[in-house]
Structure 1
Amino acid sequence: MNNRKICFVSPNAYPILKNTCYEFAGGAEVQQVLIAQALTENNFQVSFIVGKYGGKKTEKINNITVFKSSYEYKTGKLHYVPALSDIFLALCKANADLYFLRNPKHLLGVVAYYCQMKKRKFVFSSSIDYDSDLKHIRKKESIISRTLFLYGLRRVDRIIVQTDKQKRQFEKNFGLNSVLIKNMCPLPSLMPVKESPPVVLWVGTARENKRPQLLFELARAIPSLKFRMIIAPGRNERFNKIIKEQCRSVHNIEFLGFIPYQKINKEYARASLLVNTSRWEGFPNTFLQAWANEIPVVSLEIDPDEVICKHKLGLHSRTFEQMVKDVKLLIENEDLRREMGIYARKYVEAEHGIKKISRQYIDLFKNI
């Protein structure tokens, strides 16, 4: 039935919902808001549970009810009992038929417990490859976070993944089936106008797994080329400061800092190339935003399901030395760069269009 009540548990989604400029909201939050907007247009009743943002405890934003909690996770340290208790109370207030969670992982157990107790449906959507990597979870997650995640994972009604690789990993490591639904991406209404001479873009968050320092090495290796860095602050203040100081010491990098999702498209529109230096990702929203603006991607390690290579959407370098060569190749070869850019936009339109992906979510939520 189309009037089902769906609640997204997404502590950092408020800036995207409200169109405000808090300095954190990533790809997972963007995807959930895009899904929610599609659902409201199809007569679903949609709500969000977000974290600590002040103001009224309950808000209505574009037909979406927003329940604020005291949950706060900025320092990497979580006061579990009060924060998770408040999330539990918000779940009761939302009183939805189905709950949807993408991150953080430790909330999986809380939402699963509530849904099991109240006999509600629960969907978990994996946001990054290591969600399905048991060794990584055991090594990197705290015992409380790990326990909550594994408890919840066994009790969800559906697992959604972004790639075939994630699907295989959940089956191999946990014996769990999952549903592949790709990320969605709106196409810009205006065709991009590229800056001359070409500019190379890096977009991400100041986290160690994103390895932003490699951009500095890349810029030093190609001193004649202009780079721009768009970077949201991470939870490690010391790392944020180090990255900012190091970036400003490289003469051919323009440091733009944080730019909200709603305003970032103009930077993609004028760039000619996107580089990615991450060690871990899911299916990066930055790739989709770049491709939608006819920008090829040069990626050091990340190529989800090898789409970059299969569809000629850029180059997958695999080593830093090759990355330097690949960037030079595409900057110097305008025809190849433009050809890949055209392929990239067509790929997003065919595989990640709003209508196509939202239909898959609507069918899932109606039939679960």
Structure 2
Amino acid sequence: MRCCFFSPGYKSLEVLSGDTRSTGGAEAQIAYLAATLVHLGHDTSLIYGEGQGRAEQQKVADVTCINAAPLWRRPSSVMRFWQVLDSLSPDLLYARLPSDFLWMMGLFAKYRQHTKFLYAIADDRHCNPWQVYRDVPNTWFHGAAYALGLRSADVIAIQHGGQLSLVSEHLQKRLVHVPNLVRSFHEAPRVYEKTIYDGIWIATMRPEKQVEEFLALAQANPDLRFAIVGGFFSDLSVEYNRALEGRIRSLGNIEYLGPRRAPEVLDLLSQSKVLVNTSLAEGFPNTMLEAWSVGVPVVSLSVDPGGVIHREKIGLVSGTSVDLQRDVRLLACTEELNRKLGDCGLNYVRRQHSLDAVLKAFACVLSGSEFTSPASDMP
């Protein structure tokens, strides 16, 4: 099978190269899937870049990586993108990030009978084209281009059952559940007694991640020990990031560890009693899956992908800042409950996010089956 992944920018390429320090979950999942499929013997390529490349190719982790992502400001790059698609002639076209050029992939698939275009929703807000580009110029144009891209997809992959109701009704019959891939699992949950941190927070410090909630948590629990993993958001002012860094360092019970590569993140999770998520919105956070893969329960302020945390009993969803502080203390200090929820988390990812589960979903997509609702992870 010939598979082509589309990931504008350079972050998926960085993940394939082994650098995951500044990568979002969507770019990481693209790279993980590409590397896995090539390992299984499929002819796999990745189109990346920012419109400046001339279709230069390189092999990274055995994936053919081509610098040919298009950009409106460079009209020749749009034609080059089409030419690269034509030369690859993939059976599966896969995209996971909003782009003005998804419609081109759908158009290409329409005229190639053997090609299917799968677009995977990476964030709950991406279910609605008019919520994706709220903070950029020409929102109307980018939103319309993204809406056209969604309509052009043969299949739209959702991460959890909650996204089913967020996608427009006229696209419902194209939906399929494709779980995020967890690449490895511990044989048993990490040992509670050997943990160092009572709570750990992992993300790039974007406004929507609300790291301030985690700082308030640490300030309200001075007897507990916390850690932050991730970099500062470059789009924010230098002054704002300096002030945020100063506040982090002023709290004596927080250790700021900066951006870390994937193996280091797993090691740090294994040294933690609880993963704390304070985001306003997510899709299905990779950090949650990584925590459960080593038997660490999650305490989330508000995000519960498809209700999985509550349903599978793999953590707590607090709802308010005060309850977040209470719930983190409860799970950090109650060993029996921590172990129980950690065991459930490890069992959950083994069952629902293994390579077998992901490949089964892809096999259904390529078989031409119709999808009216996600097959698994539904209440």
Query: Normalised by the size of structure 2, how large is the TM-score?
Result: 0.85
Quote how far apart the aligned CAs of 1:241 are.
Answer: 4.3
- Structure 2 match to 1:231: 230
Q: 257-266 or 299-308: which moved more?
A: 257-266
Counterparts in 2 of 1:358 and 1:284: CA distance versus 1, 3 Å: same
Q: Is the aligned partner of 1:61 residue 2:25? A: no
Q: CA RMSD in A?
A: 2.8
Quote how far apart the aligned CAs of 1:158 are.
Answer: 0.6
Q: Is the partner of 2:99 in helix, strand or coil?
A: coil
Identity, % of aligned pairs?
26
Unaligned runs of 5+ in 2: 370-379
- Structure 2 match to 1:199: 198
Structure 1 CA distance for aligned equivalents of residues 123 and 289 of structure 2? 15
Structure 2 CA distance for aligned equivalents of residues 189 and 49 of structure 1? 33
Structure 2 CA distance for aligned equivalents of residues 56 and 112 of structure 1? 20
Q: 337-346 or 181-190: which moved more?
A: 181-190
Q: Is the aligned partner of 1:164 residue 2:164? A: no
- Structure 1 match to 2:42: 44
Q: 8 Å contact 2:133–2:142 — kept in the other structure?
A: no
Q: 333-342 or 56-65: which moved more?
A: 56-65
Q: 133-142 or 335-344: which moved more?
A: 133-142
Structure 2 CA distance for aligned equivalents of residues 117 and 173 of structure 1? 22
Q: 8 Å contact 2:4–2:47 — kept in the other structure?
A: yes
- Structure 1 match to 2:374: none
Q: 309-318 or 141-150: which moved more?
A: 141-150
Quote how far apart the aligned CAs of 1:331 are.
Answer: 1.6
| Count of residue pairs brought into register by the alignment | 359
Structure 1 CA distance for aligned equivalents of residues 204 and 66 of structure 2? 26
Counterparts in 2 of 1:333 and 1:365: CA distance versus 1, 3 Å: same
Structure 1 CA distance for aligned equivalents of residues 133 and 53 of structure 2? 35
State the one-letter code of the partner of 1:44. H
Q: 8 Å contact 1:39–1:362 — kept in the other structure?
A: no
Q: Is the aligned partner of 1:316 residue 2:317? A: yes
Q: Is the partner of 1:154 in helix, strand or coil?
A: helix
Structure 2 CA distance for aligned equivalents of residues 242 and 295 of structure 1? 31
Quote how far apart the aligned CAs of 1:328 are.
Answer: 1.2
Q: Is the partner of 1:259 in helix, strand or coil?
A: coil
- Within-5 A mapping of 1:52-91: 57-69=56-68, 79=73, 81=75, 87-91=81-85
Q: Is the partner of 1:298 in helix, strand or coil?
A: strand
- Structure 2 match to 1:256: 257
Counterparts in 2 of 1:259 and 1:83: CA distance versus 1, 3 Å: farther
Q: 265-274 or 133-142: which moved more?
A: 133-142
- Structure 2 match to 1:352: 353
Structure 2 CA distance for aligned equivalents of residues 232 and 361 of structure 1? 33
Counterparts in 2 of 1:87 and 1:259: CA distance versus 1, 3 Å: farther
Q: 8 Å contact 1:308–1:315 — kept in the other structure?
A: yes
Counterparts in 2 of 1:268 and 1:41: CA distance versus 1, 3 Å: same
Q: Is the aligned partner of 1:27 residue 2:21? A: no
Deviations 1:114-155 (A, max 9, x none): 444556421100001111135524745622321210111111
Q: Is the aligned partner of 1:103 residue 2:103? A: no
Q: 8 Å contact 2:162–2:307 — kept in the other structure?
A: no
Structure 2 CA distance for aligned equivalents of residues 303 and 188 of structure 1? 21
Q: Is the partner of 1:289 in helix, strand or coil?
A: helix
Structure 2 CA distance for aligned equivalents of residues 354 and 103 of structure 1? 22
Unaligned runs of 5+ in 1: 73-77
Counterparts in 2 of 1:88 and 1:232: CA distance versus 1, 3 Å: farther
Quote how far apart the aligned CAs of 1:335 are.
Answer: 1.2
- Structure 2 match to 1:214: 213
For residue 179 of structure 1, the aligned residue among 173, 176, 189 is 176
Counterparts in 2 of 1:150 and 1:55: CA distance versus 1, 3 Å: closer
Counterparts in 2 of 1:316 and 1:82: CA distance versus 1, 3 Å: farther
Structure 1 CA distance for aligned equivalents of residues 211 and 332 of structure 2? 21
Counterparts in 2 of 1:311 and 1:190: CA distance versus 1, 3 Å: closer
Quote how far apart the aligned CAs of 1:263 are.
Answer: 3.1
State the one-letter code of the partner of 1:228. A
Structure 2 CA distance for aligned equivalents of residues 92 and 207 of structure 1? 38
Q: Is the partner of 1:170 in helix, strand or coil?
A: coil
State the one-letter code of the partner of 1:271. S
- Structure 2 match to 1:244: 245
Structure 2 CA distance for aligned equivalents of residues 170 and 70 of structure 1? 26
Q: Is the partner of 2:23 in helix, strand or coil?
A: coil
Q: 8 Å contact 1:200–1:227 — kept in the other structure?
A: yes
- Structure 1 match to 2:2: 5
Quote how far apart the aligned CAs of 1:19 are.
Answer: 1.1
Query: Normalised by the size of structure 1, how large is the TM-score?
Result: 0.87
- Structure 1 match to 2:375: none
Q: Is the partner of 1:264 in helix, strand or coil?
A: helix
Deviations 1:61-82 (A, max 9, x none): 333111124769xxxxx85757
Q: Is the aligned partner of 1:286 residue 2:324? A: no
Q: 252-261 or 184-193: which moved more?
A: 184-193
Quote how far apart the aligned CAs of 1:34 are.
Answer: 2.7
Q: 8 Å contact 1:68–1:90 — kept in the other structure?
A: no
Structure 1 CA distance for aligned equivalents of residues 333 and 324 of structure 2? 14
